[in-house]
Amino acid sequence: MVKSMYAAVAGLKTHQSKLDVIGNNIANVNTYGYKKERSTFADTYYSTTRTASEATNVKGGVNPSQVGFGVKMAGIDTIVTTGGAAITDNPTDAMISGNGYFLVGSYNAAGYTTTSAESGANDTLGLTSLYLTRVGAFSFDGQGNFVDTGSQYVHGFASARGTQYLFSASATDDNGYSTYTYVIPANEEAGTEEKTATVSEIRAIDGTLTGYTVSYPGDQDGETLSFKLSKGDFDPSTADSLYVLPDSGEYSDAKTYTIDESTGYIKNIATGVVVTLDDKLTAIQIPRTYTLNGYTTKDGKPLTVTLFNENDSIMVNAFPEQAPDAQGGQQQEVEPQVLTITGEEYWAVATPMELSSISIGSDGTVTGVNSDKTVMSLGKIAVANVPNPGALENQGDSYYLAKANTGVVEAFNPGDGSTGTLAAGTLEMSNVDLSTEFTEMITTQRGYQANARIITVTDSMLEELVNLKRG
């Protein structure tokens, strides 16, 4: 008789826990990115009063007789279906249309690995150090950092600048063909020798310029690699720098990729998408500019450089600034100095660029327009693919952490690796269905009442048993 009371007590506790889950779902019905939870029950252990036995020639088989001890909470699962789209008209908001999670977390200049299979090395941290979230309510703070509502840095892939060769000289042969020379100066401290790349004109039989051949040294000693650029893709006569990707074989087709002269980054001609090659995740930030004191450009204008992140670096031909001579004219022209401006040294003192018309592409590319009306790419927002999203641990504030049983978590460009593309100007609504929750609440209430009735009935039976002696 007492077993029924304890079984009912277990039923009361379990139904109360289920009501807690339902209450949390209803409370978050308007929480962006919230994923509803589902509680499931399971019966507990049993007391066996008779074991099963096989049939014999004398008697038939016997089934076991068991009495259960109630119910328990078997598990609370997260239902990861995609919620509806809420139009916000905020260009920096983004929703993942499909699988995946945004990656946000603390700033780390060295970046994070792109897969949880790697634990990180040196200053690079592992992917699992970052939070995962479905809420894409993003904005830029006062320092140009792309952050979410919890002030966590939004992480993604930096654009590919490539290996920079600085303009050195130009020459014209007897046939009128021009050749332009670009160099990476020797570095005695690093023990590297000067490297030279050339851009040679390609002309038709009638002498019409049709394009350029870019030749540059390979990784092996004495190796020379080359690729062609069409006439409209690159104008070496006005370019102060030549950028070559380390893996030029994949990105040497001028019909698909070219160099954005305003940024020095590789750009897809057909779509305007900036190619990302970085093998680590970094915080997305607005580029910063820095004006070098005491130096000018060749035409005497202030020398201002653009840095895209703290790991960025760029070489410049810097002309020492000269004071007017005694007659008020300019002194004789001097040779430029080759300076290397690094983000590590100048990022903290550089000024975030003023951008307008910020937008997010479906592939995660974040762009803005600077004061020169040039479209600047700030990088791509990364989306993580989680093989078992139900194993993510909820940390509150719409954040999850990937720990055990999630599978290998990998970061991709949106739309790659089974992840969804991004929809800008929208946020994902909660996937809570109120009609379902109210139905579950009614059945839970009735279950709770029934278990409570078992306790009262058992109490009445015990009372009758106690009163037998009085009768």
pLDDT for 425: 95
191 has pLDDT over 90 = no
**Is 254's pLDDT higher than 50?**
no
Query: Given the DSSP bridges, would you call strands 393-396 and 131-133 parallel, antiparallel or unpaired?
Result: unpaired
pLDDT for residue 168? 87
Q: What is the pTM of this model?
A: 0.82
pLDDT of 365 > 60? The answer is: yes
Q: What confidence score (pLDDT) does residue 435 get?
A: 95
**Number of neighbouring beta carbons within 10 Å of residue 103:** 25
Segment 280-313, tens digit of pLDDT: 899 999 989 999 998 888 778 888 888 888 888 8
Average pLDDT value for residue range 118-123: 76
pLDDT digits 0-9 by tens, 385-417: 999 999 999 999 999 999 899 999 999 989 998
Q: Which of 90-94, 143-147, 199-203, 266-270 is the least confident region?
A: 266-270
Is 93:136 a contact under the CB 8 Å cutoff? yes
Mean predicted confidence (pLDDT) in 243-265: 58
129: helix, coil or strand?
A: helix
Q: How many CB atoms lie within 10 A of CB 218?
A: 11
Integer distance in angstroms from the first to the last C-alpha of the chain? 21
Least confident of 19-23, 28-32, 222-226: 222-226
What is the rounded CA–CA span in Å between residue 149 and residue 137? 6
Q: Where along the chain do its domains lie?
A: 2-80+432-466, 85-159+362-428, 289-352
Q: Supply φ then ψ for residue 183, to 5 degrees.
A: -135, 155
Residue 207 to residue 469: CA distance in whole angstroms: 123
